Amino acid sequence: MQPDNLTPADEELARVLGGLRPAATGIDRDTLMFAAGRASTQRRVRAWQGLSAAAATLLVVALVVPPRAMPTRVTVERPRQTPGSERIAARPAPTPAEADAVPLVDASYLKLRNAVLARGVDVLTPPASPARRAPVPSPSPRDWRGAGPWIGSRAFSGDNL
Amino acid sequence: MARIGPDELSRWFDAHAGAMVLYARQWLDPAAAEDAVQEVFLRLVRTPPAPRHVRAWLFRAVRNTAINRLRSRRRRTHHERTRADAGPAWFDARADDPVDPAAIQGALARLPVEQREVVVLRTWAGMGFEEIAGTVGRPVSTVFGWYRAALTSLRATMRASCNPTT
CATH at residue B32: 1.10.1740.10
The total number of structural domains in chain B stands at: 2
What value does the mean pLDDT of chain A take?
Answer: 72
The answer to whether residue A121 is domain-embedded is: yes
- Phi first, then psi: give them for residue A104, nearest 5 degrees: -70, -35
Residue B151 has pLDDT above 80, yes or no: yes
The answer to whether residue A113 is domain-embedded is: yes
What residues 93-122 of chain B have any CB closer than 8 A to a CB of chain A?
Answer: 94, 97-99, 101, 104, 119, 122
The answer to whether residue A155 is domain-embedded is: no
The answer to whether residue A123 is domain-embedded is: yes
Min Cα separation A52/chain B (Å): 22
The rounded percent of chain B whose pLDDT value lies above 90 is 49
Q: How confident is the model at residue B68 (pLDDT cuts 50, 70, 90)?
A: very high
Residues B46 and B84 in one domain: yes
The answer to whether residue A111 is domain-embedded is: yes
Residues B99 and B81 in one domain: no
Domain boundary among B51, B72, B88: B88
Average pLDDT (B4-8) is 82
Interchain pair A22, B104: CB under 8 A: no
- Nearest CB among B89, B119, B140 relative to A23 is that of B89
Q: What are A86-119's pLDDT values in tens digits?
A: 666 556 665 655 555 655 555 688 888 888 888 8
- Could you tell me which residue, B77 or A122, shows the higher pLDDT? A122
Residue A154 has pLDDT above 70, yes or no: no
The answer to whether residue A78 is domain-embedded is: no
In 3D space, the residue among B125, B111, B124, B114 whose CA is nearest the CA of residue B155 turns out to be B111
d(CA B43, CA B64): 13
At residue A124, the 3 state secondary structure works out as: strand
Nearest chain A Cα to B123, which residue? A18
The answer to whether B21 contacts chain A (CB < 8 Å) is yes
Instruction: Count Cβ atoms below 10 Å from residue B43 Cβ, excluding itself.
Output: 15
Residues B36 and B66 in one domain: yes
pLDDT score recorded for residue B74 = 75
Q: B103 to chain A: which residues are within 8 Å by CB? A: none
Q: In which element (H, E) is residue A125 found? A: strand A124-125
The total number of structural domains in chain A stands at: 1
Q: What are B70-129's pLDDT values in tens digits?
A: 888 776 665 544 555 556 788 887 777 778 888 888 889 889 999 999 999 999 999 999
Q: Where are the alpha helices (DSSP H) in chain A?
A: 8-18, 29-64, 85-90, 96-100, 109-119
Residue A152 has pLDDT above 50, yes or no: no
DSSP state of A103: E
Min Cα separation A28/chain B (Å): 9
Residues B77 and B143 in one domain: no
pLDDT score recorded for residue B87 = 67
- Could you tell me which residue, B112 or A35, shows the higher pLDDT? B112
Residue A153 has pLDDT above 50, yes or no: no
In 3D space, the residue among A133, A77, A84, A139 whose CA is nearest the CA of residue A105 turns out to be A133
- Phi first, then psi: give them for residue B2, nearest 5 degrees: -80, 180
- Phi first, then psi: give them for residue B29, nearest 5 degrees: -75, 170
Q: Which range of residues forms the domain containing residue B165?
A: 90-166
Domain boundary among B88, B103, B122: B88
Q: Which range of residues forms the domain containing residue A110?
A: 95-128
Nearest chain B Cα to A35, which residue? B42
In 3D space, the residue among B41, B68, B38 whose CA is nearest the CA of residue B55 turns out to be B41
At residue A91, the 3 state secondary structure works out as: coil
In 3D space, the residue among B14, B23, B9 whose CA is nearest the CA of residue B124 turns out to be B23
Nearest chain A Cα to B104, which residue? A17
Domain boundary among B88, B112, B129: B88
Residue B142 has pLDDT above 90, yes or no: yes
Residues B20 and B100 in one domain: no
Residues B162 and B111 in one domain: yes
The rounded percent of chain A whose pLDDT value lies above 90 is 5
